[in-house]
Amino acid sequence: MNPSRGGRYLLGNPLTGEDEDMPEEMSVGFIRSSLGNDALLNPEKYGIVYTLEGEQTIEGKDYYVLAQVFPDGFKSILYIDTITFLTYKTENTAVDGAGNENVIETVFSDYKKVGSVIIAHSMVTYQNGEEFMKMDIAEVKFNTDLEDSFFKKKGNRGLWKLTPMERI
């Protein structure tokens, strides 16, 4: 869904309990983060350009430093392990709900094989250098036949459903 093409994302307001339109810049940020590995595997699909910026050693390990640039100019830096080719961390800027620009760094760890895929089971996000969120994943399941109703929310505006992301 592309907000600039008339789509809408809703954000729950914890003070009022009402659903409100998410600011467009915040919506686009959610779209970018939802691309996942498809952005790495099919960058032409989204108009993404990758540039090798060099290598960097962090805590004794070597990483490729890749710049990921979207068509609108948004840039994210990815640190890719030179041996495993797994993502160690990402860095970018994001605008919060109050309109403030923040430096966001997400560090991935505890990679485990799930079926034929290797997935990070721990992620720590830092906002402006301070730990903002930590997520540990206990279990990953694929293709569990969830009903579409699982993704619907009943709210003051009736039912709404997040639709598939359209190209940015």
pLDDT in tens, 134-153: 999 999 988 788 887 776 65
15 or 160: which carries more pLDDT confidence? 15
Q: Does residue 145 form part of some domain?
A: no
Domain residues for the domain of 13 are 1-34
Number of domains the chain is built from: 1
User: Residue 80 and residue 148: Cα distance in Å, rounded?
Assistant: 35
pTM listed for this prediction = 0.73
Residue type, 94: A
Report residue 104 as tokens. Answer: 């966001």
Query: CB–CB of 31/168 below 8 Å?
Result: yes
pLDDT at 28: 76
Q: Does residue 111 form part of some domain?
A: no
Report residue 16 as tokens. Answer: 């009022």
pLDDT in tens, 61-104: 999 999 999 998 999 999 999 999 999 999 998 877 677 889 99
pLDDT at 11: 66
Q: Does residue 48 form part of some domain?
A: no
Q: Does residue 101 form part of some domain?
A: no
pLDDT in tens, 83-94: 999 999 999 988
